[in-house]
Amino acid sequence: MFRIFRPITYLSLLFCLLPLEAQTANKSLSCDSKWKSSGGGSAIVASFSNLTRENLKLYWIDTQGKSVFYSELVPNQTLEMNTYAKHIWKLDNQNGKCIGVYQLTKSDEMITIQGNAKVPAKTNRVSAVSPELADYYNLSPFYKKYINETGIPILASEKVSDKALIRANEILKFMLKQLPQVPGRLQMYRIRLAIIGAKEQTLDIPEHSDMQTAFPEENWNERARGFGATISRPATSFGEENLLCFPNDRYRGENIMVHEFAHTIMFSLSYTNPPLYKEILAAYKAAKKKGLWKNTYAESNEDEYWAEGVQSWFDTNLESIPTNGIHGEIDTRKELETYDPQLYQVIRKVFGDDTFDFKCNY
């Protein structure tokens, strides 16, 4: 049983293509001033993300104030690198004009250079994909309809029923109820949700269509009916049959959208609320030390620990006694509170105490 694949890479290529004019989402130092890096800073990991249509050049400003070429960033490329706090970095456009100077101070800092594409308007109705939406997200013609009440569009082909989009929108609104900062961050990386039609295959989703070539060791259409979004594959996907409780749903009794979007929320928290993100990591480490979640999917890594926990928080997981490698005896909020109180408290901070009827009435 498999739900999300998150390849580990330090160089991610984004799908979105944006207009030429660059705008930075981070505060820049003055390009007209003389800068130089300071020594003695702590080692950090930082990222530069080029969301424009032109090549950008990244320079390190050394301790003497000289520009030292480091790397070229092609359109839609994110480069993660090891550097030091208090070091100065400069970005030039393809004509050699400075577009930003940045002093990085902490790990996980991302400098994002954006285009000037207009953010599409929200809509609470299922509508045909507009040219503005397709341009902003660089969408494949595969997508014919969408709903976008939250600022995060839910997309589908013409084979998916409107009812599925409406149901997904209800779930998305609830999961974002306590997280007003998340949609803006996901918009920055052009993250969207995609419904896999009941008669479609998983890799029909354009953002995931290269999975078989990239990772040929698995038969992805057989193994998965949903993936969490990454920067390089910016779609959170899940099956129509699971949303609408079709009899042939392979995940009968669970809600896979909850699981997959939980992954996406965790990704967003790493930028919007790093302390809370670190609490998730700490909870997983503590659970492993205590020997919790043995022989379950939650034991796999921090990501699955979190997503499985969120499913149990919303009472939309499955129980297995004895454990079967995927599920165990914990599948409800009440059981989670007793079994893993540290994870329980972190999830509570993110979602609050409200409940929602995620389950199907079979």
Query: What pLDDT, in 10s, does the model give residues 272-281?
Result: 899 999 999 9
The pLDDT assigned to 40 comes to 76
Here the tokens at position 107 are: 């790990």
Q: Report the alpha-carbon distance of residue 9 to residue 177 in Å, rounded.
A: 32
Pick from 358, 246, 255, 270: nearest CA to 307: 255
Q: Report the alpha-carbon distance of residue 48 to residue 340 in Å, rounded.
A: 37
Pick from 238, 259, 249, 248: nearest CA to 167: 238
Residue appearing with tokens 């984004």: 14
Res. 344: pLDDT tops 90: yes
Q: CA-based Rg of the chain, rounded to a whole angstrom?
A: 21
The pLDDT assigned to 76 comes to 65
Pick from 30, 49, 66, 53: nearest CA to 110: 49
Question: Of residues 303 and 108, which shows the higher confidence score?
Answer: 303
pTM of the shown model: 0.76
The pLDDT assigned to 75 comes to 72
The pLDDT assigned to 190 comes to 87
Across the chain, what does the average pLDDT equal? 87
305-314: burial string, b at 16+ Cβ within 10 Å, e else:
bbbbbbbbbb
Domain boundaries, the chain: 43-114, 119-268, 273-361
Task: Write the class of the CATH domain 43-114.
Answer: mainly beta
Res. 26: pLDDT tops 60: no
Phi, psi of 57 (to 5 degrees): -115, 130
Q: Report the alpha-carbon distance of residue 126 to residue 146 in Å, rounded.
A: 5
- Band of residue 283 on the pLDDT scale cut at 50, 70, 90: very high
Pick from 232, 220, 258: nearest CA to 78: 232
Q: Report the alpha-carbon distance of residue 331 to residue 317 in Å, rounded.
A: 5
Q: 95-109, 211-225, 238-252: which has the minimum mean pLDDT?
A: 95-109
Give 44-103 pLDDT, tens digit per residue: 888 888 877 688 999 999 999 999 999 998 876 778 888 898 899 999 998 999 999 998
- Band of residue 115 on the pLDDT scale cut at 50, 70, 90: low
Rounded percentage of the chain residues whose pLDDT exceeds 70? 90
The pLDDT assigned to 329 comes to 96
The pLDDT assigned to 25 comes to 43
Please compute the mean of the pLDDT values over residues 282-308 and round it to a whole number. Answer: 97
Q: Report the alpha-carbon distance of residue 232 to residue 97 in Å, rounded.
A: 28
Please compute the mean of the pLDDT values over residues 302-316 and round it to a whole number. Answer: 97
